[in-house]
Amino acid sequence: MDYETISVAPIAGGLGAEVGGVDLSRDLPNATIGEIRAALLEHLVIFFRDQHLTPEQHLALGRRFGALQVHDFVEAMAGYPEILEVRKEPEETRNFGGGWHTDVSYLERPSLGSLLYALEVPAYGGDTLFANQYLAYETLSPGMQRMLDGITAIHSARRPYGVNSARAQEYGPSSMRFNFSQKAHDEIEHPVVRTHGETGRKALYVNRTFTIRFKDMTEAESAPLLHYLCDHAVRPEFTCRFRWRANSLAFWDNRAVQHNAVNDYHGQRRVMHRVTIEGERPA
């Protein structure tokens, strides 16, 4: 695709592109917002360098793409209920977002995507990996595709946010505050193969963090196929890796992408702001 108001340079074969020629702090014209959205649909995750955003500007940018979500289980930034401050201090050993996942797939309407903005980053480490779920589906055998097209999966937030979750039992330091509750044990049904509402392409839609089992099956019965699909979904050739710098912003399409915040920077601080856009029910 040719772009008139922005520059777009792919960073990997599987997905991902760096976008230039735009100042996200400004009230951008509709044509530029349209091209940013087109770049997102084409590359699935897009990256912007050297941006300088106040919380108000970050929120305003997110609202250009849809209504914003408030996280049910993670305490928001003070005074800004729609911003998550993703923080890890030097004395902490566990990060937020570690492990491959699709954001909030336990909701009836999971997010369209997130805009994650870096304020402080470690001198090394703390990269984020992204994986293309169109490719994850398209590289499955025809027989596997036919079988999965008719299967429904059960998603829940209980593993990370349930009353007996591993994080709830930890007593080490945490600069983020979590709401471990019975509500996290609620379950929602989503198709294993999701059709993207804007592109019409099919994507694999299961993840290790929130997909519990297949409908009408036990967790034990579901586990072999679910483990295979989760491993397949993040094959190296489906992925890209983003090295953060301060004032960088990543915008990913949560409908067709998994991501993983690599936890390899113990003893260093990392502070990010995340704004999440509400999506539609997977179909």
Which residue numbers are catalytic?
101, 103, 259, 274
- If we measure between CA atoms, which residue out of 193, 102, 96, 188 comes closest to residue 146? 193
* Cβ pair 257, 100 in contact under 8 A: no
Nearest CA-CA partner of 205 in 216, 219, 194: 194
Which residues lie closer than 8 Å to 184 by C-beta, 6 or more apart? 72, 73, 106, 156, 157, 158, 160, 161, 162, 163, 165
Tokens of 188: 């929602």
Torsion of CA 134, 152, 222, 130, to 10 degrees: 30
Answer yes or no: are the C-beta atoms of 266 and 93 closer than 8 Å: yes
39 half-sphere exposure, CB direction, 13 A CA radius:
28
CB–CB of 269/90 below 8 Å?
yes
Q: Which amino acid is at 230?
A: C
CA-CA distance, 133 to 96, in Å (whole number)? 22
